[in-house]
Amino acid sequence: MADRAIKPDSGNQLVLQDEGGSAALTIDTSGNTTFAGDIKISASKGIDFSAAQTSATEAGTGTTLSEILDSYEEGTWLATIGSFDIFSGVSQISKYIKVGKLVYIYFRQTGGVIDPGGTNEHLAGLPFALDGSQPMSPLAQQTDKDGNLSSMYLFDNSTDEIVLNSDTGGFSGAKCSFSAVYITG
């Protein structure tokens, strides 16, 4: 069977219409494509950028593992207590954006009390599991109302939790916020 070509008259754009006669897909004379609705990609497929850019291999600085963007998602996540002694009366905003394997998280808690009651306490409930090969890495440093330093870390200890480490043995406060980027497995 021979390939079929749809070719508009010279200087005209190509327009595919939906059942109602509205333009569903338009290809202009420069090859730019406009979609009237969302583009839905089948499972295990993605957008291939291999022809559109110079890869790390071509630039001589690395090894390209993939040039396929296979997912995008944004939403909310619920941070859970983990091993905190007190985590009550709070207003929590927890959002995420996932692009491929890269996850950006934002967390803000106001009101109530966060009191780890010691060092290395855990905040659980990340929206996606951490890549197990990532080392512990700092994502924020915070001081409480008395100026005591606390550092938060992402840490994969098979529980995918955020570890609060306090150099002063604990802190209490009514506000906590951070954002971080991590790679999911």
For 48-78, what is each residue's pLDDT tens digit? Answer: 887 776 666 566 677 777 788 888 999 999 8
Coil, helix or strand at residue 58: helix
Assign residue 167 a region: left if phi > 0, alpha if psi is -120 to 50, beta otherwise? alpha
pTM of the predicted model over 0.85: no
Domain boundaries, given as residue ranges, for the chain: 14-69, 72-183
Q: Determine the CATH number of domain 72-183.
A: 2.60.90
Half-sphere CA count of 34, side-chain side, radius 13 A: 11
Give 96-152 pLDDT, tens digit per residue.
999 988 999 888 777 665 555 555 566 778 888 887 776 556 665 555 566 655 556
